Amino acid sequence: MCNFTAIENGTYQAYTLVFGSVMTLGLPLNAVSLWILLNHHSLKSPSAVFMVNLAISDLLLIISMPVRVYFYATGTWPLGEMACIFFTMLFRNNIRSSSIFITFICVDRLLAVVYPLRSRHLRTSSNAWKAVAFVWLFVVAVNIPESVTFSRFLMKNFAEPSCFEFGDCKNLSPMQYLQPVLVLIMLAVNVVCTTLVSWTLRSHLSDSAKVSNKVNVMLIFVMNLVMFIVFFLPVSVAILFESWRHAFTSLACLASVNCCLDPLLYYFSFDGFWRKKEDGDTSLAIE
């Protein structure tokens, strides 16, 4: 069972402002990015496949924003228990799916830079789509036990206007440990990939790819690390520490900002992001 404290109107107004700004900026940025990825870049590239699904994940997050803005602006929830669970799952799914897709992009860039020839049989669109399908199935499967837990909680507490206030819980269910563990593992993979790519670019190894724009390549990895450290990690581990749980909603608010920064990842990942890809183009930034 969770104990909720009254939140000052100023805090609710701040949440309203942040979620409203994320919705206003994130919707056009991700919609335009998705349109460009689908129309200007071949989905035969594994990076493009992962980025398309990352944009879809961000758009699903943005779908949950209008009701969050309404909730924090009015302090009321008029849509019922099932809608509360649905929009809560959309929000949590973004952190999980985004962290995995960003890690896939990071690993794909690692293989492209460090093992460009030996990894060609792995870096195919077919394998990318299989990985994407597995991720979405995993995310939906996790929703089932979580939804049951939330439903039980709401049956006891739904009279209170606390639809999105699940952070201050004294009793943790086993499923709540999944997200911190997942994010920490993905962060570790990103750190290893960043280290290996940085070392490779400095070493000029004979079997590594010739990278024309090393700054853009490293920016991709740095941005990935920033996403994890600033947006994904704090909200994921906060639930594990009782002293942090009072700040859970604030950290969730911060985490939502990640969907406005992902379009920068697309821009730096592709040379000529706005230019339509030619069939014969084998640039490292695309492949």
**CATH of segment(s) 9-160+170-269:** 1.20.1070.10
Checking if the pLDDT of 4 tops 70, the result is no
Q: Report, as an integer, the average pLDDT of 142-170.
A: 69
Q: What is the mean pLDDT of residues 160-177?
A: 61
Average pLDDT, the chain: 80
pLDDT at 1: 39
Residue 203 has pLDDT above 90, yes or no: no
> Quick check: 136 pLDDT over 60?
yes
Mean pLDDT of 202-219: 66
Q: How confident is the model at residue 112 (pLDDT cuts 50, 70, 90)?
A: confident
Q: 82 Cβ partners below 8 Å, 6+ apart?
A: none
Closest to 201 in 3D by CA, of 114, 102, 117: 114
Which pLDDT score is estimated for 12? Answer: 81
- To 10 degrees, the CA torsion angle through 108, 134, 60, 219? -10
Burial track 155-179 (b if 16+ CB lie within 10 A, e otherwise): eebeeeebbbbbbbbeeeeeebeeb
Q: Does residue 2 carry a pLDDT above 80?
A: no
More confident residue, 240 or 60: 60
Which one is predicted more confidently, 8 or 89?
Answer: 89
Task: Check if the beta carbon of residue 51 is closer than 8 Å to that of residue 109.
Answer: no
Percentage of residues of the chain with pLDDT beyond 90? 34
Residue 169, pLDDT score: 53
Contact 86, 147 (CB under 8 A): no
Average pLDDT, integer, range 34-57: 87
- Where does 168-266 show beta strands of DSSP type E? none
What's residue 24's pLDDT?
94
pLDDT value of residue 275: 44
